[in-house]
Structure 1
Amino acid sequence: MSLRLPSLQALLVFETSARLLSFTKAAGELNVTPVAVSRMVARLEDALGFRLFDRTKSGLTLTDRGATLQRAVASGFGQIGDTIEELKRDLARGEIVTLSLASGFAALWLLPRYAAFRQAFPTVNLRLQVMPGRLYGPLDDADLGIRLHGPGSENDPSCLCPEIIVPICSPNYLAEFGALDDAAKSAEGHAYIHLDVTTHSWADFHRATGLANRGIGRAVHHTDPGLAVQCAMLGQGVVLGWLLAIAAPLNEGKVIPAWNRYIDTGCHYVLEYRSSNPSENTRRVAQWLIDEMKQELDGARRVLAPMTAICRSRAASV
């Protein structure tokens, strides 16, 4: 069975309907028809495999699962909205530093630190240029960008983070379904969350580690790493997480390793400058990112210490 992860539009329609407890009122706020809202919610329920609302004569009520999802979605949209408004207010003052980065790193690591960034750089306006795919290519109009470099890049003074890939899930998921190699609990197959655009797939992970694929209970496909990790946090399955994005939730215990193996490709994420003579603020922002990530990685390495690293050369030979 293959399940597509809900789109942001579907989640927005659900959140509006859940907040107003009315498809008609939600349609008015979203400027669409009530039929369109009802159909979108029905498709979302079909995709998820459970009801979000109870339809009664007196109106809509949220199911327990619907209420849980509504809290998570409202919190995420609220944080994004607050951050956007904050960034808009900042445009009127200070130097703008544009940072090119991945959505997973932005959502899971940088945005939760935005208050600390503002305190460190009260006169700098940070503009985020989120890349939809992998971190390759020119910076274009960005002042600073995170890009993946090959082996040896750990010696670059602007090295930010190694490319380490860890299978992760929520603590509750692990308790219920067991580790990836736990035949007793996972005989019916784990729910694998797939990234459709990635440098390392689940098939690659199985080949590199020698893990037998005991079947897939549900295959969830998505194109956004940040939302894929959030699905894992909600207990919906196991996802391959890049340390650059998952270091913070890993340290906070929101996700945990789903097995005692991880992939170390030997590559590293490096901060690149567009200009050979970047501004002082751009250099300071880069150093702040490096210093903050170093503290995060110190904690993440303690989590990874009991695990076995599978190096890239071994991955290429199997």
Structure 2
Amino acid sequence: MGLRLPSLQALLVFEAAARHLSLTRAAAELNVTPVAVSRMVARLEDALGFRLFARTKTGLVLTDEGAKLQVAVASGFGEVSDTIEELKSHQEQGETVTLSISSGFASQWLLPRHERFHEAFPEVNLRLQVMTSRLYGPLEDADLGIRLHKPGSEHEAFCFCPEVIIAVCSPGYLAQYGPLDAPRQAGGHTLIHLEPTTHAWPDYFELAQLVNRASAKHVSYSDPGLALQAAMLGHGVLLGWLLAIAAPLNMGTVVPASKRVVETGYNYVLECRAHEPSASVRHVAQWLVDEMRAELKKVDPVLASVERVRRGEPG
């Protein structure tokens, strides 16, 4: 059987009286009468079986027992107060949701939605872990992450986007140099390479059944966001993944540079690290999936103008 403690109200009144060493000042703080404070202290002393205060000519003083109890009560109330402040601070700051994504997707798709995200989730702090390499591997400390999954993953709950490879360039570049299928310049195209990647230019030419023109110039990047920026600025033709270039295609900042695109059968899936994620994580995940579905629906007319070649991952 646990120890039966005095009521919280009695301890609260005692703490105020002990701090002020005045029934009158304690009563003013607690918004009660001095008589009520005196009665509560007397009841507490009766329940404990020892005196907490002694009356002197100069006023109240704590007994030895009262002094020890004051330290304990003040410490307990202080810890409760600190804990409440900490909890309130966390509530005001909101939950942090960490998202692991590629730099190209972050810069071209997510960041333009920054305001819309915070309108939808004012209580959520979004933290990004940006990957410059391929979207493989565990999420580690991220709550959500986009990862490439094998064929069949289109049936997963948070299937995000199919892996579709599209050669893209700026509208100005296309007007000057023509498409990959029929270049207008004798020197050929400038091919922008991304390293590492799931499919390189030789893979694309083989899968799309296009001629790999040896006269092409080459430039390489290790960061998907920078590579896409180079293509948007008219520096060459980039192999773009629909995940990162759906938004630029819809905005017209890049256009298909070939009449053929490659569907690998793989899919990008939005993974949750926890088996039972928090409500905020689930809601953020569903919002991201819904936003991407709307983006893919918008880009359908662009993809309808090209031929889709379905192939597996190159061996």
**TM-score, normalised relative to structure 1:** 0.69
- Aligned position for 1:35: none
- Aligned position for 2:98: 98
* Closer/same/farther in 2, CA of residues 128 and 144 from structure 1, 3 Å limit: same
Residue 111 in 1 paired to residue 99 in 2?
no
Amino-acid identity (%): 57
Give the distance between the partners of 2:152 and 2:166, measured in 1 at CA: 21
Which letter maps to 2:310?
C
Offset from partner CA, 1:169-200 (integer Å, 9 cap, x none): 000000000000114x0431100000011000
- Aligned position for 1:188: 187
Which letter maps to 1:118?
H
- Aligned position for 1:275: 274
* Closer/same/farther in 2, CA of residues 91 and 109 from structure 1, 3 Å limit: farther
Give the distance between the partners of 1:95 and 1:132, measured in 2 at CA: 26
- Aligned position for 2:138: 138
Matched length:
226
What is the CA distance between 1:216 and its match in structure 2? Answer: 3.9
What is the CA distance between 1:214 and its match in structure 2? Answer: 2.2
Give the distance between the partners of 2:148 and 2:193, measured in 1 at CA: 21
- Aligned position for 1:291: 290
Residue 311 in 1 paired to residue 314 in 2?
no
* Closer/same/farther in 2, CA of residues 245 and 149 from structure 1, 3 Å limit: same
Which letter maps to 1:150?
K
Is the 2:132–2:224 Cα contact (8 Å) retained in structure 1?
no
- Aligned position for 1:39: none
1:70-219 correspondence runs (5 A): 93-183=93-183, 185-219=184-218
Give the distance between the partners of 2:91 and 2:190, measured in 1 at CA: 43
- Aligned position for 1:249: 248
- Aligned position for 1:239: 238
Give the distance between the partners of 2:266 and 2:141, measured in 1 at CA: 25
Which letter maps to 2:276?
N
Is the 2:181–2:259 Cα contact (8 Å) retained in structure 1?
no
Indicate the RMSD between aligned Cα atoms, in angstroms: 1.7
SS in 2 for 1:245: helix
Which letter maps to 1:201?
A
* Closer/same/farther in 2, CA of residues 94 and 264 from structure 1, 3 Å limit: same
Is the 1:144–1:272 Cα contact (8 Å) retained in structure 2?
yes
Give the distance between the partners of 1:305 and 1:241, measured in 2 at CA: 17
Is the 1:98–1:143 Cα contact (8 Å) retained in structure 2?
yes
Is the 2:202–2:212 Cα contact (8 Å) retained in structure 1?
no
- Aligned position for 1:12: none
Give the distance between the partners of 2:174 and 2:123, measured in 1 at CA: 44
Give the distance between the partners of 1:232 and 1:194, measured in 2 at CA: 11
- Aligned position for 1:8: none
Which letter maps to 1:235?
G
- Aligned position for 1:51: none
* Closer/same/farther in 2, CA of residues 222 and 91 from structure 1, 3 Å limit: farther
* Closer/same/farther in 2, CA of residues 202 and 295 from structure 1, 3 Å limit: same
Offset from partner CA, 1:78-131 (integer Å, 9 cap, x none): xxxxxxxxxxxx997110000011111001100011111010000000000111
* Structure label with greater radius of gyration: 2
* Closer/same/farther in 2, CA of residues 210 and 186 from structure 1, 3 Å limit: farther
Give the distance between the partners of 1:159 and 1:123, measured in 2 at CA: 26
**TM-score, normalised relative to structure 2:** 0.69
Which letter maps to 1:234?
L
SS in 1 for 2:93: coil
Offset from partner CA, 1:117-156 (integer Å, 9 cap, x none): 0100000000001112111111100011111101011111
Which letter maps to 1:193?
I
Give the distance between the partners of 1:95 and 1:232, measured in 2 at CA: 37
Give the distance between the partners of 1:150 and 1:237, measured in 2 at CA: 30
